[in-house]
Amino acid sequence: MPRVLWTVWVLGAAISLLEKGALDQASSVNCDSTGVCDGHSKSLNFIPSGLPATVKSLDLSNNKITYVSSSDLRGCVNLQALRLGSNRINAIQEDSFLSLGSLEHLDLSYNHLNNLSSSWFRPLSSLKFLNLLGNPYKTLGKTSLFSHLTNLRILKVGNNYSTEIREKDFAGLTFLQELEIDASNLQRYEPKSLKSIQNVSCLILHIKQPVFLQKIFVDILSSLEYLELIDTHLNTFHFSEVSINKTNTLIKKFTFRNVEITDEGFNELVKLLPYASEALDVEFEDCTLNGIGDFDISVRDTIKDLRKVETLIIRRLYIPHFYSFYDLSDLYSFIGNVKRIIIESSKVFLVPCSLSQHLKSLEYLDLSDNLMFENFLTNSACEHAWPSLQTLILKQNHLTSLEKIGETLLTLKNLTNLDISKNNFHPIPKTCQWPGKMKYLNLSNTRIHSLTRCIPQTLEFLDISNNNLDSFSLIMPHLKELNISKNKLKTLPDASFLPMLLVMRISGNTINTFSQEQLDSFKKLNTLEAGGNNFICSCEFLRFMQEQQALAQILIDWPGNYLCDSPSHVRGHRVQDTHLSISECHRTALVSALCCALFLFILLTVVLCHHFHGLWYMKMMWAWLQAKRKPKKAPHRDICYDAFVSYSERDSHWVENLMVQELEHFDPPFKLCLHKRDFVPGKWIIDNIIDSIERSHKTVFVLSENFVKSEWCKYELDFSHFRLFDENNDAAILILLEPIEKKTIPQRFCKLRKMMNTKTYLEWPTDEAQQEGFRLNLRTAIKS
């Protein structure tokens, strides 16, 4: 029994782990609101369960899925695109796609499907795209796989394992816009296998040996418009003329990718030209020519058919025996009708003058990424060369002198468009000569630091992006479009230089701001691309950018590429979503308000201080602090006076002639301290007051109306009061020289009020008979 329980527990744990894994993998698929689900490169082992019924596009490519069950996609009834490419799928249940009636795009490429079943595709009545490339099946099923796919437009089949193409493989298909077949190892082709398709516009064929190429070509010739051969060896190709009505052929383009060809093979390829339409494009990409240019094209019909070629495209052509190559002069008389030539990345350094002169119909010439120099260009653009040329592209060559280029191209009277980008020019001269019809000039990625009048004034389009320009000050009266992106400009160009400008691209510079006035100065501007700059998100700039609804019609990269660079707290935020605080947006008004508030506060403080004698209290506080620094009790040896006399200057007559004379001539005499006589000259008056009180045994206050009005008398009174409380003694003597009503004493003299209420004071009698008693009481009070 325990063994059974153990087994049940293990099974339960395994099921739980599987369910948890399923939930984790389902959560790794991201679905947006439009029904697009992305599970690309998520290391999924199976199709996640629980996908919503609203899913319209499901990408599960580049995972580790091995199996598709009938229940995996049952709920996805609205699915329109399913991508299962680059997985490890080796089995698909028969009814796995039963509910996918709306599916239009199915990618099962590069899996491990050994067998294909027609039951998979039977429910897919809406299917337009099907990719079965890269699976290891040997045949396309026992019966026709695609007979029910009446809406199929693009089909990709085949692999390195398929060895035959059968007539029934494509039976039932009516019209294909594109058919791609990987027949790299094709060994058997049943006649009319591709002819069973009623109409094929484009055939892309991977085929190493061209043994069956002619049979395939004949089967699809009546409907084919575009033939592309990939990875083909045409060294031994032989084409025999076929009996077909050439007037019904529709081929407009031949493309050869990664094809090896010899001189003899090229001669055979030319035999395909009679079956092409009157305007033919021929493209060679990543091809190798194992020959020396010994072409035999002297047949009259061949010459006629060569003249059908209007566009010749050659990219990355490799000629191992280039230095033994013929001069191609035999071809000169057959290329007069070519209108467009593109030769890229093929190490071209010279177009002979004689060849250029024979290209009388040439309108478009692209020699990008080659080895062209100014000296060789002079030979190529010789007199009467390229008489019809309108567009010349010399991008990414070895050009260094703008002046020499302009002089060389003066022979091209009809030249309107010139692209010399991705070269490295020396400093631009002040003036240059150019063909008179120049309208378009591309100088992007040329490391120029400044612009001069060397730039032709006739231009309508100028591209000077990806350079080191910090300003634009050229007058361009006809310019309609300017691309000056990725430079170092700090402001928009002056609109007066560009009166006809319609489009300006100035993204990726160091522009901090622009205004409505600047935009309005460009009278005809209807398109502006200015994102990716270092915008200072000031309140004015934000208000302008956010409130002007018409800007969205002009700024083609708004709002995604408009980010704040400063202030630092909003760096990286979108301009559209940025909002600054009131303090940042109304700083001037805020500072003005604060200054006004501060001024009112100071004014109120001054008024209150004046009304409540605040200044006087501050002086008292300072004096009190000065007094607190002194010792609480002066040493006995420092007492020099019997009394310090505090009085008003207006009462000096009574003090000096009556009281002082009486006390200092008494026997024994009293030693009094008077400010007129005993204060130390040059010493601060408050320090004199403090020192005098500290060095006196008593302090005598001669009170009168004059005393109350004297500020210094009040200091002396306060210092004495500090001493009275701090030392807990009775050092103050009050003499009332004349009657003083308490209500006349200002409120700020609270200490004087308190002392008059708590201390006994001597009152000077007007009766002479009582004055002797006053003197006796005063002497007694001083001595006590």
> Strands 30-31, 36-38: parallel, antiparallel or unpaired by DSSP?
antiparallel
pLDDT in tens, 471-529: 999 999 999 999 999 999 999 999 999 999 999 999 999 999 998 899 989 999 999 99
What is the pLDDT, as a whole number, of residue 23? 42
**DSSP conformation class of 320:** T
pLDDT at 30 over 90: no
Token look-up 């008059």 returns: 756
What is the pLDDT confidence band of residue 305, given thresholds at 50, 70 and 90? low
Averaged confidence pLDDT in the chain: 85
Evaluate if residue 544 carries a pLDDT over 50.
yes
pLDDT at 712: 61
Provide the b/e sequence for 5-43 (b: ≥16 CB within 10 Å): eeeeeeeeeeeeeeeeeeeebeeebebeeebebbbbebe
pLDDT of the residue at 777: 86
Better-scored residue on pLDDT, 16 or 708 = 708
**Angle of the 587-611 helix axis to the 614-628 helix axis, nearest 10:** 80
Is 182:162 a contact under the CB 8 Å cutoff? yes
- Residues 584-608 have pLDDT tens digits of 777 777 788 889 999 999 888 888 8
- The verdict on pTM exceeding 0.85 is no
Region of residue 533 (phi > 0: left; psi between -120 and 50: alpha; otherwise: beta): beta
Q: Given pLDDT bands bounded at 50, 70 and 90, which one contains residue 19?
A: very low
Judged against a pLDDT cut of 70, whether residue 718 lies above it is answered with: no
> What does the block give as tokens for 754?
């308190």
Q: pLDDT band at 15, cuts 50/70/90?
A: very low
Instruction: Tell me how far apart the alpha carbons of residues 124 and 235 are, in angstroms, rounded to a whole number.
Output: 43
pLDDT category at 613 given cuts 50, 70, 90 is: low
Q: Give me 417's structure tokens.
A: 């468009």
CA dist 467 and 562 (Å) reads 21
pLDDT band at 327 (very low <50, low <70, confident <90, very high): confident
Whether the per-residue pLDDT at 13 is higher than 80: the answer is: no
* Stretch among 28-42, 358-372, 547-561, 678-692 having the lowest mean pLDDT: 678-692
Compute the distance between CA of residue 158 and CA of residue 288 in angstroms, rounded to an integer: 25
Identify the pLDDT of residue 1: 45
Q: Is 726 helix (H, G, I), strand (E, B) or coil?
A: helix
> Which pLDDT band holds residue 774 (cuts at 50, 70, 90)?
confident
Predicted local distance difference test score (pLDDT) of residue 20:
42
| DSSP codes joined into one string, 528-572 | EE--SS-EE--HHHHHHHHH-TTHHHHBTTTTTT-BEEESGGGTT
CB 420 within 8 A of CB 442: yes
Separation between Cα atoms, residue 451 and residue 20, nearest integer Å: 66
Flag whether pLDDT at 27 surpasses 70.
no
Return the pLDDT at 727.
47
Per cent of the chain over pLDDT 90 is 43
Instruction: State the pLDDT at residue 24.
Output: 47
Rounded Cα gap, residues 112 and 86, in angstroms: 9
pLDDT for residue 9 is more than 60: no
Q: Which of 270-279, 344-353, 417-426, 755-764 has the lowest mean pLDDT?
A: 755-764
pLDDT, tens digit, for every residue of 662-676? 888 888 888 889 888
Taken as a whole, the chain contains a residue count of 784
Higher pLDDT: 99 or 709? It is: 99
Across 179-193, 326-340, 380-394, least confident range:
326-340
Which residue in this structure is represented by tokens 């040439």?
A: 362
Confidence of residue 734 (pLDDT cuts 50, 70, 90): confident
Contact by Cβ (8 Å): 35, 82: no
**Pick from 105-119, 196-210, 220-234, 626-640: least confident:** 626-640
Greatest mean pLDDT among 134-148, 188-202, 505-519 lies in: 505-519
Q: Give the pLDDT score at 264.
A: 87
- Closest by CA to 258, choosing from 216, 317, 185, 213, is 317
> Using an 8 Å Cβ cutoff, are 103 and 127 in contact?
yes
Write the pLDDT tens digit of every residue in 740-772: 776 666 665 666 666 666 666 788 888 888 888
Confidence of residue 21 (pLDDT cuts 50, 70, 90): very low
Q: What letters, b where the CB count within 10 A reaches 16 and e where it falls short, cover 114-146?
A: eebbbbbbbbbebbbbbbbbbbebebbbeebbb
**What count of Cα atoms within 13 Å lies in the side-chain half-sphere of residue 221?**
22
Contact 510, 532 (CB under 8 A): no
- Other beta carbons less than 10 A from residue 340's beta carbon: 17
Q: Which helix (H) or strand (E) holds 199?
A: strand 199-206
Tokens of 456: 């032709």
Residues facing 333 on adjacent strands: none
- Angle, in degrees to the nearest 10, between helices 711-727 and 614-628: 40
Residue 625 sits at φ, ψ, to 5 deg, of -65, -35
Domain extents for the chain? 583-609, 641-783
Instruction: Kindly state the average pLDDT of the residues 324-345.
Output: 82
> Distance (Å, rounded) from C-alpha 432 to C-alpha 454?
4
Assigned CATH topology for domain 641-783: Rossmann fold (3.40.50)
Return d(Cα 201, Cα 226) in angstroms, integer: 6
Cα 488 to Cα 391: distance, rounded to the nearest angstrom:
29
Contacts of 487 (CB under 8 A, 6+ apart): 464, 465, 466, 467, 468, 469, 470, 508, 509
User: Would you say residue 245 has pLDDT above 80?
Assistant: no
pLDDT band at 329 (very low <50, low <70, confident <90, very high): confident
Which has more pLDDT, 640 or 154? 154
Residue 714 is predicted with a pLDDT of 63
Question: Which of 736, 741, 665, 660 has its CA nearest to residue 703?
Answer: 736
More confident residue, 140 or 609: 140
pLDDT at res. 243:
55
**17: confidence class by pLDDT, cuts 50, 70, 90:** very low
Structure tokens at 555: 């700024």
Kindly give the residue spans of alpha helices, DSSP state H, lying in 349-448.
353-358, 374-380, 402-408
